[in-house]
Amino acid sequence: MVLEGNNYADDTLYNINECLEFGCYTFTIYDSFGDGICCSNGQGSYEVTVDGSVVKSGGEFTFSETAQFCGGSTTPSPVATPQTPAPVATPQTPAPVASPKTPSPVATPQTPAPVASPKTPSPVATPQTPAPVASPKTPAPVASPQTCKDSSLRFRVRWNGNMKTRDCTWVSNKATIQRCNVDGVAAACSDTCGTCSTCADSTLRIKVPWNGGIKTRDCIWVGNRATIQRCNVPGVSDACPVTCGVCSN
């Protein structure tokens, strides 16, 4: 590894230059929350240039994005081509040696006539197996109201004047009363905040694993379409109990 960095601040432009030896390199950008640097929570972007030419740019990805390129400050020396060795004379194949004659075959004794086997008795008819009787169908299970519990998903919350991505463990660590009083937190963390008797959707935007990526969405998105599939994502029904129809009262 020739260059790395982390802990970059929000809304800040960075220009990083590095003089590389000639060769091929791999550039990788990472995002710990899995939603890239554009465009759910801002308009971030990046651009990789080599000798003045752009080799990769973007901003929309999930956890990481990679680009490969070749270049550098020094051109390598040419590699000498190995010379082809002179051909080696192939030895001549010796004349074939005459094979000894095959001796005359010896008479084989005759096989005695087979003895007649006793007749196999006629098969006895096997009683037929009665047709199976259809079993009564088991009724489909009825969904039970879920018990009160915190959502396991991370959510976007405004704290001390800044937008943070946090979860219910953060709410319970310290300053729980103040954090539960932030709009939408008590609905997403009903067990931690002691609001199990009140069934309400959280107004916070939650981080939902969907279609192979992490989406920042809210309960309105859950109710728009494919509600059953979205409510079945672990943690969604705990944050959106009204939309998912799992209120226990």
- Domain ranges within the chain, ordered by starting residue: 23-71, 155-244
In order, the DSSP letters of 8-62 are PPTT----------SEEEEEEEE-TTSS-SBSSS-B--EEEEETTEEEEEE---S
pLDDT digits (tens, 9 = 90+) for 208-247: 999 999 999 999 999 999 999 999 999 999 999 999 999 8
CA distance 47 to 128: 77
CA distance 35 to 52: 29
Non-local (6+) Cβ contacts of 159 within 8 A are 166, 179, 182
Which residue has better confidence, 120 or 184?
A: 184
Residue 105 has φ and ψ, to the nearest 5°, of -65, 145
Mean pLDDT of 102-130: 57
What tokens appear for 15 in the block?
A: 């220009």
Q: Which of 34-43, 59-68, 81-90, 191-200 has the highest mean pLDDT?
A: 191-200
Q: What is the pTM of this model?
A: 0.42
